[in-house]
């Protein structure tokens, strides 16, 4: 009797671990389109995969594609996903999300590492849900707190350079918002925009020439060009407060950052709700990272002679 009971318990546990989808023999093909390879987006993709794999095991397979920073390639990838009739699409970064929306109105699309969905999708009457086959997670950290951080670290600064890629609408959104907060503090803000990676260094030099401190938002082009930016900022002794940990590790002195892995994981949990529980993606509210952390780049702060106050965590 004890042996039979043990076998029964083992079977029940196995069924629970495999999940309802596996028990029914249902399998899912999920397409992942990541705009470009850099630390933040890589972490979000990994979190997404881990969440779905933990919940679905062998019942889910992934077609993961990287667009190498090219919006047209995002479109090609998304069209291929539609041809494959994937069960769900994960779009990592705004251009990937926009390409997904253009490619399909039927397949559920979940975004991650997207700052503002209303801006990305040109929705004027924003309610927190898109009303179409799209939902996801936002990587927006509180911009008022980022502005306060910049002022806390550099209270004597009067000129701030806002450095970002003009081709990324969510970068423009962040800059517009934080500019308002900084100007309320009495700071003079000047925008310095680069079109792509080819002119990052020259624009960063212009920003250094006209600024005492620089702010860089969560910008994918900047994130993939941190070495080029640092090679300009460090010799000029100009510090940068930035929007996320990956950029800070590369060329910034401090950030108020979210965990992109956790953000991707939350997106994976949303995918499970859609795939297995039948959640309506069009009514799912956009979700945000639950926590933000004050972080600093100890090496660069030391090189620039910047003393960081208590309450900040050094980036490993």
Domain ranges of the chain: 2-139+260-285, 143-257+293-314
pLDDT score at 24: 62
Distance, in Å, from the CA atom of 34 to the CA atom of 64, rounded to the nearest integer, reads: 8
Domain at 2-139+260-285: CATH architecture = 3-Layer(aba) Sandwich (3.40)
The full 3-state SS of the chain, as one line of letters, equals CHHHHHHHHHHHHHHHHHHHHHHCCCCEEEEEEECCCCHHHHHHHHHHHHHHHHHHHHHEEEEEEECCCCHHHHHHHHHHHHHHCCCEEEEECHHHHHHHHHHCCCCCEEEEEECCHHHHHCCCCCCCCCCCCEEEEECCCCHHHHHHHHHHHCCCCCEEEEEEECCCHHHHHHHHHHHHHHHHCCCEEEEEEECCHHHHHHHHHHHHHCCCEEEECCCHHHHCCHHHHHHHHHHHCCCEEECCHHHHHHHCCEEEECCHHHHHHHHHHHHHHHHCCCCCHHHCCCEECCCCEEEECHHHHHHHCCCCCCCCEECC
What's the token pair of residue 159? 């000129």
Which whole-number Å values give the CA distances from 247 to 117, 286, 302, in the listed order? 22, 24, 17
Classified by CATH at the fold level, domain 143-257+293-314 comes out as: Rossmann fold (3.40.50)
pLDDT score at 9: 42
Nearest of 231, 229, 232 to residue 217 by alpha carbon: 229
pLDDT score at 48: 98
Do 246 and 216 contact (CB within 8 A), yes or no?
Answer: no
pLDDT score at 71: 93
Query: Residues with Cβ < 8 Å from 48, sequence gap 6 or more?
Result: 32, 90, 92, 112, 264, 265, 267, 268, 271
Distance, in Å, from the CA atom of 82 to the CA atom of 19, rounded to the nearest integer, reads: 26
Do 166 and 195 contact (CB within 8 A), yes or no?
Answer: yes
Query: Residues with Cβ < 8 Å from 200, sequence gap 6 or more?
Result: 194, 221, 222, 225, 228, 229
What's the token pair of residue 171? 């970068």
The 60-66 sheet, strands edge to edge: 60-66, 28-34, 88-92, 109-114, 134-138, 287-288
- 2-139+260-285 and 143-257+293-314, same CATH topology: yes
pLDDT score at 25: 82
pLDDT score at 163: 98
241-261: burial string, b at 16+ Cβ within 10 Å, e else: bbbbbbbbbbbbbbbbbbbbb
Nearest of 191, 192, 243 to residue 220 by alpha carbon: 243
Output the tens digit of pLDDT for each of the chain's 316 residues: 444 444 444 444 444 444 444 446 899 999 999 999 999 999 999 999 999 999 999 999 999 999 999 999 999 999 999 999 999 999 999 999 999 999 999 999 999 999 999 999 999 999 999 999 999 999 998 999 999 999 999 999 999 999 999 999 999 999 999 999 999 999 999 999 999 899 999 999 999 999 999 999 999 999 999 999 999 999 999 999 999 999 999 999 999 988 999 999 999 999 999 999 999 999 999 999 878 999 999 999 999 999 999 999 999 8
């Amino acid at each position: 009797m004890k042996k039979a009971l043990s076998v029964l318990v083992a079977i029940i546990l196995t069924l629970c671990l495999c999940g309802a989808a596996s028990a029914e023999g249902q399998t899912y093909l999920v397409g992942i389109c990541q705009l470009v390879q850099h630390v933040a987006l890589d972490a979000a993709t990994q979190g997404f995969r881990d969440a779905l794999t933990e919940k679905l095991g062998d019942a889910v397979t992934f077609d993961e594609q990287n667009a190498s920073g090219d919006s047209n390639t995002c479109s090609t990838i998304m069209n291929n996903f539609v041809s494959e009739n994937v069960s769900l699409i994960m779009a990592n970064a705004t251009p990937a999300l926009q390409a997904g929306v253009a490619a399909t109105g039927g397949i559920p699309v979940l975004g991650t590492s997207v700052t503002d969905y209303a801006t990305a999708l040109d929705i004027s009457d924003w309610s927190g849900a898109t009303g179409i086959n799209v939902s996801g997670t936002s990587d927006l950290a509180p911009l008022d707190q980022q502005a306060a951080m910049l002022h806390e670290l550099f209270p004597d600064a009067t000129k701030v350079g806002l450095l970002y890629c003009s081709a990324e609408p969510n970068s423009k959104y962040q800059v517009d918002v934080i500019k308002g907060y900084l100007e309320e503090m009495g700071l003079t803000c000047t925008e310095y925009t680069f079109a792509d990676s080819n002119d990052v260094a020259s624009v960063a030099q212009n920003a250094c020439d006209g600024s005492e401190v620089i702010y860089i938002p969560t910008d994918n082009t900047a994130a993939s060009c941190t070495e080029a930016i640092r090679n300009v900022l460090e010799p000029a002794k100009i510090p940068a407060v930035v929007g996320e940990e990956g950029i800070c590790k590369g060329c910034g002195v401090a950030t108020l950052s979210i965990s992109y892995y956790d953000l991707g994981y939350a997106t994976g949990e949303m995918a499970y709700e859609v795939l297995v529980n039948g959640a309506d993606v069009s009514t799912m509210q956009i979700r945000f990272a639950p926590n933000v952390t004050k972080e600093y780049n100890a090496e660069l702060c030391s090189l620039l002679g910047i003393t960081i106050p208590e309450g900040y965590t050094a980036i490993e």
